[in-house]
Structure formats: structure tokens, C-alpha cells
Structure 1
Amino acid sequence: MKGGLVSESGAVLLSERRPTPVSEGPEAVVAAIRDFIGHLADSGDGNPAGVGLVVPGLVSEDTALYAANLGWSDVPATAFTPLDVPVLLGHDVRTGGLAESVLGAGRGVSDFLFLPIGTGIAGAMILHGEPYGGASGWGGEIGHIPVFPDGEQCACGQFGCLETYASAASVGRRYSQRSGLEGIRAEQVVASDDPVAIEVWDEAVEALSLALATYTLLLDPTMIVLGGGLAEAGPALFDPVRTRLVKRLAFRAAPPLHPAALGVDAGMLGASLLGWRAAGRPELGPGWVLDVRSQPLVS
């Protein structure tokens, strides 16, 4: 867990991390979050105006509807905080996309895709400056687009999902399966000139370019923002994905690819935007000045 206190000027007054006690059960996780929020509030000089909280799974503004990995079902937002102040919940990836929209690489851009590539792959569709969750809140699950219909089975039950080929965890796993070498991380695969590594990485790039082409044809984003650990590969990721995206969109221009600007702070900064919105201050955020990198690697 990561939390902090963020002022109305955007200054991060305090930022802390704590372990998430998943093994102790769903109620223990809720209690740990509640205690963490109370601790952060007590550490500040004044009374917090609002609370923003981002969690995985299916989320509405006032309820954590379902989170399989945390064992939650219909947990009200008020259960997470001991404070008598307004609170808003947000989906972790969509709220990270909100932060990139307001404060980061997507600042000033109305429509773009935010795609963090880490252990898994999920996307935030930013439409008219706001994250869009779809009719039931499941929008943005780009990691489960079948890019190779006859491919490997995904943990979700489908076959050939993007996440099965292009997530950091999958790149390392697929290399280990083919090479017989255990404990290999995605960044090692990317940097290797081993023919097996080259093949695994090529398949990841192919899968990603197919998914991004599909998204582009459907929603016509101004740009695509790639984040997460795998985006740290830099040109080794951006250059081949861009080349293949251009090829697949032969009849139209491909959107530029940008690296995410906020890194590991995207979730916390997005939560702070939710907290200020809960407090009735939705105008806060666009005027904040942060020390972030937001230049495109590929234009």
C-alpha cells in the first residue's frame, strides 16, 4: 500500500508505504487501510478535507464491488476510513490514467490510452479528459483482448490474450519455459541476444502492436501512453511497437507513443485528485506543477 498527504497546491507533504496483509484475509486488508488513513491524517498539521482511495477490481465511486485477489465484495467506501470526511473510490489503473491525464504525459490531451505493462496488463481509456469504465465498470481490460486466437491459454480462461504474451511476467515465464532457465526477468530477456529471448520478445511486440492497432481503429486516440515496468525498456519497446503499429494502420496515421510521466506515483497522485473531488474541489489538479518527465520517446 502507498499513501500520502497532498495539499491543495499539489505538494506531496507525506508519502509512506506499508505491506498489504492479503494473507490475513479481506477484513484485515480493510482494517489495515483504515489504520493507514488514520495514521496519515494524524501526521498532518490540519484536518484532511477528503479521502481518495484506489483499489483493483470492479469499483464504483462509493463501493468496492468486487476484487478477487483481495476477497472483497460490496465493501462501502466509508469502511476504509475512520475520518468523517467525504471519500471517493477509484479503480487503480483508471485512476492512474486520470493522474497522467491531469498531471502527466496526457496533460492537455482529451483522448488517449494509458497502458501500464507490469505483472499484468490493463488499460485506462481516457475520453474527454476522464477515465471511461464502460457500462458495467469493466472497460479497459485490453490485456484480455485475444491477439492470437489459437495461442496459449490465459489465466482468465481465454486463449491468446495480450497479457499472456506481453506482460512482464509472461515475457519472463515464456523465456524460462523455452530455455529451461529459471528466474529470468523480462528486462533480461529484452537485453539478451539469445535467439530464444529474441523470439519471445518479438512475439510480445507483435501481440502489443496488434492490440494497440485494434484500440486505435475503435477509439482513435490522440496518443498512447505506455507505463509500468516494461516501459522502462525504452527504445527496445517503443521502436519496434511503433514500426509495427504504423504497418498495421497502413491507411491512416498511427498515434504517437509516449512514456508515462508519473511512474509509481500515478496511483497516489490520482487518489489525491479523487480526494479533492470528494471535498468539492474538482478544479484542483490542472494548475499543479510537478517535477515529472513527459517527453515522448517516439513521435
Structure 2
Amino acid sequence: MRHVIALDVGGTGMKAALVTADGTLLHSARRDTGRERGAEAVVESILAFAAELRAHGEEKFGEPAAAAGVAVPGIVDAERGIAVYASNLGWRDLPLRALLSARLGEVPVALGHDVRTGGLAEGRLGAGRGADRFLFVPLGTGIAGAIGIDGRIEPGAHGHAGEIGHIVVRPGGPPCGCGRRGCLERLASAAAVSEAWAAASGTPDADAADCARAVDAGDPRARAVWQEAVDALADGLVTAHTLLDPHTLIIGGGLAQAGETLFVPLRAAVRQRLTFEQLPEIVPAALGDRAGCLGAGLLAWDLLTASGPGAPTHSPEVTA
């Protein structure tokens, strides 16, 4: 059975799958990234994991993978296949596409940015399916974005398109790792909410999920922290919406797990800020933590499809 290898590399873990052309997951697996062992060990873990998947496909389905796709964090030069920089994994200018291709027997390999790759999957298979223009915004440790246009993800001239987390929404606000102050991700990411709620509650190990539960319980301190984050997020989303005019805003990541505790006030805050713009749909992401892996599979199939993007025709099935 013809299939491709899909790898989603995160700061702490890796998700992988063998994927058919119609989006079905034939096999899935997870491994620790092992970043505590250093950058070289992380790279070897990725290559070894991919080789295991290739061997499994040969044994189980009688043929090796036809291609591979890998999604990684940080700065990515997808055209040259270079993982330019990832602070949490310790690498710089890593020729990951060439290394993977060599380990897998010179099969074609596609390299993508983790958020844009996840956005590709949400656009073709998930919450953005059927929308000709959407913005995918996962709210995790940081905040990034992916701009979807007609079934593809816009990379930008320098590979930085969609970096909504570094829109300044509170000038002079808390310092951000990018060098600015008051960036959206410093106020509305899961990490930012965790930090603010730990301080407000006096509980050092409290996190964003604890804050959401306290909001539901009616705690006024939690409601204040939550509303501050929602207001900052709404300001950032309205700026992006005014520039991009998408039909759909897809919100994912850990903070979106709060469900209507997030979406009810967020929709209201966005609505209040719009003047001439059309109100977009604001919906939760549909694929959860599978999005990056599924998107990596789509990148691999796109390499093998001569005429167009080669999108699967139905939602993927997941097997153990």
C-alpha cells in the first residue's frame, strides 16, 4: 500500500505516522525528543525514528515510504530544506531535508514549519475545510499563525508570514524574547496566562488550565486575568483580520481546550472591536495535536503530486 512518512517534531516529543494519499493513518507512534541530550542527539533521534517508520512500512505493507514530510519548530527555510534555528532544540542551519533523505534511501523529503504545517492540515482536513481564506492561531507556550489561501499556506517573502504572536498589542508592556515589548504572546499565550494566574492566585505552580477552571467557578481574580488575556487576543486578531480579511479564524493550542470559557468572551470582544469589517467565524481547531503530523503527511504527498496540491478527499482516520 503506497504511503508516506509524516513527522512532527516538538520541543519535548515527536509524533509520527504512515499516511495514505486519502489521509488515512496506517500507523502512528510517539517518541521523546530528548533535547536534554543535546542538539546532535535530537537530530539522531529524528533520523532513527524516521528509519523505524520506513522499516515498519516495508514489513507491514510490502513497500517503503514513497516520500517523507517533517514539521519542526523555529525558523525554517522550507525551499532549501534547512532548519535555520530552533532555540528549544539547540540547532542552527541544520540541513534536515538532506539528512532525512539520505537516511531513508534518497526518497523525497519535504520540510515545513510546525505551525504552518498544522495550518495546512486544519485547512484541508479540519476546521478550515471549505474556507478559501483562513487564519490558524494556536495558543500554546507562544503564539504563532498560519495564513491559509485556496488550500495552501502563505509562507511570506522571508518565511515569517503569520507571526501574529509578535504583533505589539500593549506598547511598553512586558518584554518579549523577540526584543519588543507588549507582544501578543506575552499577554495571551497559555504561558502568559499561567504566569499571570500564578501571581494573582499566589500559587507558583498554577497554570492556564487552573485559571480556566477558576473562571468557571466564578473567582473574580481569575476572571480579571482571563479577561485581560482575551482582550489582548482580540486586539491581535482584529489587527490580523483587518489586514487579511479571512472568512474563518481557527483557534487551537492548549488554551483553546478551555472551550466556551475562551470562545464566548473572545467572540464578543472581537465583535465589539470591528467597525467596517465583516465578522469572521471564530472556531476551535478540529485536529488537536494531530495537526502537525497530518500536515507533514500532506507536504510529503504534495511532493509526489504533479498536478496541484494533492489534498485528501475525506477526514483522516486514526489508528493506534
Band of TM-score, shorter chain: over 0.9
| Alignment match of 1:159 (pick from 164, 168, 181) | 181
TM-aligned CA deviation for residue 152 of structure 1: 1.6
Which amino acid is the alignment partner of residue 65 of structure 1? V
Which is further off, 161-170 or 199-208? Answer: 161-170
Amino acid paired to 1:211: G
Are the counterparts in 2 of residues 103 and 288 from structure 1 also a CA contact under 8 Å? yes
1-side partners of 2:242 and 2:255: how far apart?
24
The one-letter code sitting in structure 2 at the alignment partner of 1:66 is Y
| CA-CA distance at 1:289 after TM superposition | 3.2
Displacement of 1:285: 2.6
Give me the whole-angstrom Cα distance separating, in 1, the residues matched to 2:294 and 2:16: 9
Kindly indicate whether residue 100 of structure 2 is the aligned counterpart of residue 80 of structure 1.
Answer: yes
Match of 1:67 in 2: 86
Q: Show the 5 A alignment for 1:224-263.
A: 224-263=249-288
My pick for the range that moved more, 33-42 or 127-136, is 127-136
| Kept in 1: contact 2:209–2:255 (CA 8 A) | yes
The aligned counterpart of 1:290 is 316
1:122-153 Cα distance to aligned partner (Å, 9 max, x none): 11111232111211111211111111112222
- Corresponding residue for residue 54 of structure 1: 71
State the one-letter code of the partner of 2:117: T
| Map of 2:53 onto structure 1 | 40
**SS of alignment partner, residue 3 of structure 1:** strand
Give the deviation of 1:290 after TM superposition. Answer: 2.8
Aligned pair 1:204/2:224, yes or no? no
Give the SS at the match of 1:171: helix
- The residue that corresponds to 1:194 in the other structure is 219
Q: Distance in 1 between matches of 2:91 and 2:302?
A: 25
What SS does the aligned partner of 1:105 have?
coil
Q: 2:135 aligns with which of 106, 113, 117?
A: 113
| SS in structure 2 of the partner of residue 149 of structure 1 | coil
Indicate whether 1:103 and 2:125 are aligned.
yes
**Which range moves more in the overlay, 258-267 or 276-285?**
276-285
Q: Structure 1, unaligned stretches of length 5 or more? A: 293-299
Conserved? CA contact 1:116–1:227, under 8 Å: yes
After the TM superposition, which of the residue ranges 259-268 and 134-143 deviates more from structure 2? 134-143
Farther-moved stretch of structure 1 (118-127 vs 90-99)? 118-127
Unaligned runs of 5+ in 2: 1-13
Counterpart residue number, 1:123: 145
* TM-score, normalised with respect to structure 2: 0.87
Deviation at 1:252, TM superposition (A): 2.8
Residue 173 of structure 1, CA deviation: 0.9
Separation (CA, whole Å) in 2 of partners of 1:140 and 1:9: 28
CA contact (8 A) 2:212 2:222 kept: yes
TM-score (norm 1): 0.93
Corresponding position of 1:221 = 246
Matched, 1:27 2:33: no
Q: Distance in 2 between matches of 1:160 and 1:178?
A: 19
Per-residue deviation, 1:120: 1.3
| Distance change >3 Å, CA 291–CA 261, structure 1 → 2 | farther
Distance 1:153 1:283, change over 3 A: closer
Residue in 1 that maps onto 2:30:
17
Structure 1 segment 134-173 matched on structure 2, within 5 A = 134-173=156-195
**What's 1:295 paired with?**
none
Q: For 2:314 and 2:172, how far apart are their aligned partners in 1?
A: 47
Alignment of 1:256-271 (within 5 A): 256-271=281-296
Offset at residue 221 of structure 1 (A): 0.5
Out of 85, 93, 116, the position equivalent to 1:94 is 116
Distance in 2 of aligned mates of 1:226 and 1:207: 14
Q: Deviations over 1:142-195 (max 9, x none)?
A: 111111112222232321111111111111111112332121121221221222
**Is the 1:119–1:169 Cα contact (8 Å) retained in structure 2?**
yes
Displacement of 1:283 after TM fit? 4.8
